[in-house]
Structure 1
Amino acid sequence: MEKQFVDLLNEELKLQQIVAEEHSHHMNATLVEAKRQATQYQREAEKCNAATETCEEARERSEAAISKEKKLTSLWEQRARQLGWQDSRVKTI
C-alpha cells in the first residue's frame, strides 16, 4: 500500500513538472513575441518621428519662404505706389 502511495506521489510530481515545463515554454514564447512586437513598435515610432521631423523642417522652410515673399511683395507694392500705381481692388469712399 505504501508503494502505491509513493508511486502515486511520484506520478503526481512528474505531471506537475510536465505542466510547469509547458507553462514555462508558453511564457518564454509569449515573452519572445512581446519583445518582437516591442522592437517592431520601436521601429515604427522611429519612422514616425523621422517623418514628423521632416514635415516640421519643411513647414519651417515654407514659413520662411512665405515671409520672405511677403516682404518682397510689400516692397514692390510700396515702390509701385510711389510711382503712382493704385490698387483697383481697393475702393475709396
Structure 2
Amino acid sequence: MEKQFVDLLTEELKLQEVVAEEHTHHMNATLVDAKRLASQYQKEAEKCNAATETCEEAREQAEAALVKEKKITALWERQARQLGWQDA
C-alpha cells in the first residue's frame, strides 16, 4: 500500500514537472514573440519620428519662404503705390 502511494506521488511529481516544462516553454515562446514585436514597433516608431522631423523641417522652410515672399510683395506693393498704382 505504501509503495502504491509512493508510486502515485512520483507519478504526480513527474506530471507536474511536465506541466511546468510546457508552461516554461510557452512563456519563453511568448517572450520571444513579445521581444520581436517590440523591436518591430520600435523600428516603426523610429521611421515615424524621422518622417515627422523631415516634415517639420519642410514646414519650417515653407514658413520662412512665405515670410520672405510676403516681405517682397509688400515692398513691390509699396513701390507701386508710390508710383500711383491703386486697387481696382
Unaligned runs of 5+ in 1: 89-93
Tell me by how many angstroms 1:2 deviates: 1.1
Map of 1:40 onto structure 2: 40
Map of 2:27 onto structure 1: 27
Q: How many pairs does the alignment contain?
A: 88
Matched residue SS, 2:84: coil
Measure the CA separation in 2 of the matches of 1:42 and 1:9: 48
In the superposition, the TM-score normalised over structure 2's length comes to 0.98
> Would you identify which runs of 4 or more consecutive aligned residues in structure 1 move more than 6 Å?
none
| Sequence identity (%) | 81
Bigger helix share: 2
CA deviations 1:62-85 (Å, max 9, x no partner) are: 000000000000000101111111
In the superposition, the TM-score normalised over structure 1's length comes to 0.92
Counterpart residue identity of residue 44, structure 1: E
Note the aligned Cα RMSD (angstroms): 0.5
Counterpart residue identity of residue 62, structure 1: A
Unaligned runs of 5+ in 2: none
